[in-house]
Chains A and B, each alone.
Chain A
Amino acid sequence: MWKKADPPKEEPPEPKDSVQSRPEGLAGDRPRNRQAVAGAGMGSSIRIQGDITGDEDLVIQGFVEGSVDLSKHAVTVGPEGVVKANIKGRLITIEGRVDGDLIAEERVTLRSTARVEGDIASPRVAMEDGARFRGAVDMGEAPKPADGSRSSELLSVSTSSTPSKSSSSSKSKSDSASEVRRGTNASNAKTGSGAGS
């Protein structure tokens, strides 16, 4: 009479790649629970003057002056972190303030609260809207033009909402010296869109 109850379904297994096991999330994958990030943490009241080296990930919430060299690991400067040093890491994420260069083997991410003055060298760089930065970004050697397989997406895991150049640019290539053309009056307001990363 009663509908036979379905056997309990098996719960899908917990993904192995949880936040806890990831020292640093991908762009768009923001580990809000910073405490869960594996590795060493440096509290906001801690001040270090000197060189930091080691073999684990590091989250800096305090003040560092000197150098930070964790080339094989993730370095995060939290919102309260202030670093006056060059930082070397595999993955570098900045939410606080850095006066110094950032050198990452894989990726540098500047969150919206970041304030960075220095140069960045990394094959991938992502910058969130609101991040303040002055300096140069060097994403490595210029790609070989013959390849054609490399696209801008390889430079960052952040997605871009902008269409390709070829689809959106439709102007004539016929420039002439000293020519002054009356261009379009900028109209239509699609306000403030697409500024995020």
Chain B
Amino acid sequence: MAGWLDRLGRRISSGSSSVPGDQEGDEPERRRITGSTPGIAALLEAVEADGSHSILDLGPAMASSFQLYRRFAHRIRFADLFGEWTKEGWKTALASIPQQARGSYDLILAWDMLDRLSPDGRRELIDTLAGLSAPGAGFHTVIHDSGVETIRPLQFGLLDVDRMYYEPSSSIRLSRTPILPAELARLVEPFRVTRAFTLKGDLREYVAIRS
């Protein structure tokens, strides 16, 4: 109740629209959700925590994630595809990964990047990631349930091998082409889906292995 009144008060004071369905300009709801991530647990369970791995995280750098990654990896890249760094967009950010990194990553965390892209963009992203990863590499992604038509981009952080948090990274709502579970299995080829989990917040997470 108090939270609802608080949000209402902020909207009135800021004069922002509260019309449902606003695509932009809606008040950012920076609510952080913490919960379990069985997908990450499954992904990391398959590798030794010996610092010998190479991790590619497509999201922004999070200190807590970094702390966890360095238990497993000696090379860690935060690509931050939708960050503030490049105005040219995610393709430029992805292309900035050096060519010598091709085939070198054995753990890739794509978070909700597939959800943010068009069908063509999704295919292009997967093809690029397939080139950056070695056979046997692990792949993790999070997508919204297929019934969700608009999404807020999320940023994720890991608190432990089986716990994460996420929160909206922007107030903008994006329209999306839903991804059905069977479509996702085809979409991520040559990564082969091995595990899938349902999370709170209308999210599903998938673990796949590079063929």
Do A and B pair up? The answer is yes
Q: How far is the CA of A176 from the CA of B196 in the complex (A)?
A: 11
**Closest residue on chain B to residue A133 by CB atoms:** B61
Residues A192 and B196 in contact in the complex (CB < 8 Å), given A143-B51, A145-B50, A165-B161: no
Q: Which of B37, B49, B197 contacts A152 (CB 8 A)?
A: B49
Residues of B within 8 A of A179 (CB): 194-195
Q: Check: A10 CB closer than 8 A to any chain B CB.
A: no
Q: Is the CB of A185 within 8 A of B199?
A: yes
Looking at A1-9, A46-54, A134-142, the stretch in contact with chain B turns out to be A134-142
**Closest residue on chain B to residue A121 by CB atoms:** B75
A contact face: mostly helix, strand, loop, or mixed: loop
| 15 new A-B contacts at CB < 8 Å, known A139-B51, A186-B35 | A127-B61, A129-B63, A131-B61, A135-B78, A136-B78, A140-B74, A143-B51, A169-B162, A175-B195, A183-B197, A183-B198, A186-B37, A186-B200, A188-B35, A197-B63
Q: Which residues 143-170 in A have Cβ within 8 Å of B in the complex?
A: 143, 145, 150, 152, 155-156, 158, 160, 162-166, 168-169
Q: Is the CB of B52 within 8 A of A145?
A: yes
Q: How far is the CA of A186 from the CA of B32 in the complex (A)?
A: 13
**Closest residue on chain A to residue B199 by CB atoms:** A186
**Closest residue on chain A to residue B193 by CB atoms:** A178
Residues of B within 8 A of A16 (CB): none
Q: Which residues 175-211 in B have Cβ within 8 Å of A in the complex?
A: 181, 185, 192-201, 205
Q: Is the CB of B37 within 8 A of A137?
A: no
Q: Is the CB of A195 within 8 A of B162?
A: no
Q: Is the CB of A192 within 8 A of B70?
A: no
Residues of A within 8 A of B71 (CB): 152, 160, 165
Residues of B within 8 A of A176 (CB): 194
Q: Is the CB of A177 within 8 A of B76?
A: no
Q: Which of B61, B63, B197 contacts A196 (CB 8 A)?
A: B63
Q: Check: B36 CB closer than 8 A to any chain A CB.
A: yes
Distance between B3 CB and nearest chain A CB, rounded to angstroms: 14
Q: Check: B168 CB closer than 8 A to any chain A CB.
A: no
Residues of A within 8 A of B181 (CB): 180
